[in-house]
Amino acid sequence: MSETTIAASASQLAAARVMERADHLADISETPRGLTRIYLSPEHLRANALVGHWMEQAGMRVWQDSVGNICGRYEGEQAGAPALLLGSHLDTVRDAGRYDGMLGVLTAIEVVQALHDRGRRLPMAVEIVGFGDEEGTRFGITLLGSRGLTGDWPSEWLQQQDAQGISVAQALANAGLDGANIGQAARNREEIAAYLELHIEQGPCLEQEGLALGVVQAINGARRLTCRFTGLAGHAGTVPMNHRQDALAASAEWMMAVESITKQHGRQQVATIGTLSCAPGAVNVIPGEVTLTLDVRGPEDEALEALQQALLAQAGDIAQRRGVQFSAEEYYRMAATRCDPELQQRLVQAVSRVQGRALSLPSGAGHDAIAISGCWPVGMLFVRCQGGISHHPAESVMAADVALAIEAFCYAVNAVACGDS
């Protein structure tokens, strides 16, 4: 690596500023108590203005794009060079924490600030984007900000309405934007070289390992299925035990199998039966039909497919042995997003440098990087959060971890932009 990019003392000052700014942004909320900031709301525009101001202080040229993302650019050695894009989102769920999304934008500003303070330019430009919508809180559709950059905003999204009946098109107009211009937010492939996103982990793995930082291997793919065991309802008093076709007993046996089979398929895959309804649902009637949902997730699509097939095969075996029917219908599928191997390697080196070793882990939650990966290579850095809690006011990170994160982020950005080995 060419040189030290930020001193430890400077990273502590930078982390203190990030913590202060996260508090400041948390005050920009629709509700006086708690934090709620939804896409294209007055609070969203105020947050954009403030973040844009901080980007300008870090020496960046700043603009708001046509879907409402706040963007900044710090030129490289040659004006107009391709950019290394850093970012995350500035919108929140309802009654949110103050770091999910915002931490990635605020730490990225510190990376640029460190360059600006030393008058340093990299072979690549560095751009930062604060995405306007990742969570999908307002319109029930997600990643509107990042899909603006990739240019795959379906035109029917403009008609999508919020709970008040306001369409995306109207909300854009209310925010001073024009739905006819959303295509202008799309970026040419050659303008951006790669995307790096820093985010809180939203899970307990780093905390359990006693580590501040981790490197994301992949964002988990997910499938959701509606499953059904169909037996025969009957009199709870008159049908002998060995004559029953009890759909709930079959479901119970399968639920235990789902747990044990998933554990056998490795630590990174998870399966959950989250809902179950039993018919006819009376104390004195043998259950004739049980409907349940299965949610399976994992970082690799092939392994996930193998797990799903194993779980469904087991359900079929149980059903056959018990004389009941089993059926399953998949209603949702999201492919896993693999992080770019070279970017992962850069991040592993950067994280190892600041904390001695790096842990690679999958992301159980979705991120802007999912959309961006359709056009550009993506890498993600995770920061430990207390108790793995997110989407809740109790969301919390330590300033010391944020300082390490800024150091690692600076190393990684330098290494990627300079092409160091």
Binding residue for Zn ion, selected from 97, 101, 130, 299, defined by CB under 5 A:
101
Question: What distance in Å separates the CA atoms of residue 384 and residue 375, rounded to the nearest whole number?
Answer: 28
201 is an interface residue for Zn ion by CB under 5 A:
no
Strand partners, 219: 337, 363
Does 100 carry a binding-site annotation? yes
CB of 292 to Zn ion, least distance (A): 29
Does 297 carry a binding-site annotation? yes
Window of 36-44, 64-72, 92-100, 208-216 that interacts with Zn ion by CB under 5 A: 92-100
Phi then psi dihedrals of residue 206, to 5 deg: -65, -40
First-to-last CA distance in the chain? Answer: 7
Give the DSSP per-residue string, 281-315.
--TTEE--EEEEEEEEEES-HHHHHHHHHHHHHHH
Window of 93-101, 110-118, 260-268, 303-311 that interacts with Zn ion by CB under 5 A: 93-101
130 is an interface residue for Zn ion by CB under 5 A:
no
Amino acid making up residue 183: G
CB of 79 to Zn ion, least distance (A): 33
Interface with Zn ion in residues 50-89 (CB under 5 A): none
SS3 assignment, position 239: coil
Binding residue for Zn ion, selected from 43, 65, 100, 407, defined by CB under 5 A:
100
Window of 58-66, 97-105, 124-132, 228-236 that interacts with Zn ion by CB under 5 A: 97-105
Tokens at residue 204, please? Answer: 């307990």
Cβ proximity to Zn ion, 72 vs 145, nearer residue: 145
Instruction: Name, in order, each residue with C-beta under 8 angstroms of 46's C-beta and a sequence gap of 6 or more.
Output: 28
Cβ proximity to Zn ion, 101 vs 362, nearer residue: 101
Cβ proximity to Zn ion, 38 vs 324, nearer residue: 38
Contact by Cβ (8 Å): 335, 221: yes
Window of 96-104, 116-124, 302-310, 328-336 that interacts with Zn ion by CB under 5 A: 96-104
CB of 367 to Zn ion, least distance (A): 6
Does 284 carry a binding-site annotation? yes
Contact by Cβ (8 Å): 416, 25: no
Contact by Cβ (8 Å): 408, 11: no
Which residues are at the interface with Zn ion (CB under 5 A)?
100-101
